[in-house]
A and B are shown apart, each in its own frame.
Chain A
Amino acid sequence: GAGVSQSPSNKVTEKGKDVELRCDPISGHTALYWYRQSLGQGLEFLIYFQGNSAPDKSGLPSDRFSAERTGGSVSTLTIQRTQQEDSAVYLCASSSRTGVTYEQYFGPGTRLTVT
């Protein structure tokens, strides 16, 4: 079946502009996660959704970052007033609540460049 998809694959934006990144999880997966990967680094957890609610927002780096999920499916990560340090690959993952909950499956990511 279809895996996790993300769009756009690449985004170049000017400092100070807002950006929206989209994630379509695997069909039927109720848990959705956003991570950030800076060049040559591991993945940094940002936020997690169970259904449409986000019980864990602890990883969001600042109040310029927000995320929502509607209909228990698609999620959008929004970064307002982008800064150069926001440049990174933003990865989305999903997992199922049935059976094992810890196996997260990742999308290809959105590479964000802030100029």
Chain B
Amino acid sequence: GQQLNQSPQSMFIQEGEDVSMNCTSSSIFNTWLWYKQDPGEGPVLLIALYKAGELTSNGRLTAQFGITRKDSFLNISASIPSDVGIYFCAGQPYSGGGADGLTFGKGTHLIIQP
């Protein structure tokens, strides 16, 4: 089946630093989504991307859909303590099937050091 490689697995950063994480796939994806999950809760949708080359921002978050359709990155600028959590990329494979299940990366655990 489809697999997404998400990196880094974890990040230890200082408050105020910028963060960058990415996802790659061996096959083409129609859609890239980025989610954040806090402990004990379900993932919350941050950004959705639908077009190759698309660059979308949501506050301090910026994400891009790679030109090859096989990758995406998420940047967080000027990190704050509430950014702590696990960030997941997710993709809709190019199957033309419509609302099928998403394929998820294994997550990037963001830890902010005081």
Pair from one complex? yes
User: Residues of A at under 8 Å CB distance from B?
Assistant: 4, 31, 33, 35, 41-48, 50, 56, 59, 91, 93, 95, 97, 100-109
Check if B40 sits within 8 Å of A43, measured CB to CB: no
Among the listed A44, A47, A101, A106, which residue makes an inter-chain contact with B42, where contact means beta carbons less than 8 Å apart?
A: A106
Please tell me if B102 contacts chain A, counting CB pairs below 8 Å.
Answer: yes
Among the listed B33, B99, B103, B105, which residue makes an inter-chain contact with A48, where contact means beta carbons less than 8 Å apart?
A: B99
* Residues of chain A within 8 A of B107, CB atoms compared: 41-42
* Residues of chain A within 8 A of B106, CB atoms compared: 41-42
Q: How far is the CA of A4 from the CA of B43 in the complex (A)?
A: 11
Among the listed B35, B42, B101, which residue makes an inter-chain contact with A45, where contact means beta carbons less than 8 Å apart?
A: B101
Check if B50 sits within 8 Å of A100, measured CB to CB: yes
Please tell me if B31 contacts chain A, counting CB pairs below 8 Å.
Answer: yes
* Most-contacted residue by chain B among A4, A43, A50, A59 (CB, 10 A): A43
Among the listed B48, B102, B105, which residue makes an inter-chain contact with A100, where contact means beta carbons less than 8 Å apart?
A: B48
B interface bracket (residues with beta carbon within 8 Å of A): 20 to 34
Please tell me if B92 contacts chain A, counting CB pairs below 8 Å.
Answer: yes
* Residues of chain A within 8 A of B101, CB atoms compared: 33, 35, 45-48, 56, 59
Q: How far is the CA of A59 from the CA of B101 in the complex (A)?
A: 9
Among the listed A41, A97, A104, which residue makes an inter-chain contact with B102, where contact means beta carbons less than 8 Å apart?
A: A104
With A31-B99, A103-B48 known as contacts, the answer to whether A42 contacts B105 (CB < 8 A) is yes
User: Residues of B at under 8 Å CB distance from A?
Assistant: 4, 6, 30-31, 33, 35, 40-45, 48, 50, 88, 90, 92, 97-107
Which chain A residue lies CB-closest to B4?
A42
Q: How far is the CA of A106 from the CA of B35 in the complex (A)?
A: 10
B1 to chain A, nearest CB (A): 9
* Residues of chain A within 8 A of B103, CB atoms compared: 45
Q: How far is the CA of A49 from the CA of B10 in the complex (A)?
A: 34
Which chain B residue lies CB-closest to A97?
B99
Q: How far is the CA of A55 from the CA of B84 in the complex (A)?
A: 37
Check if A91 sits within 8 Å of B33, measured CB to CB: no
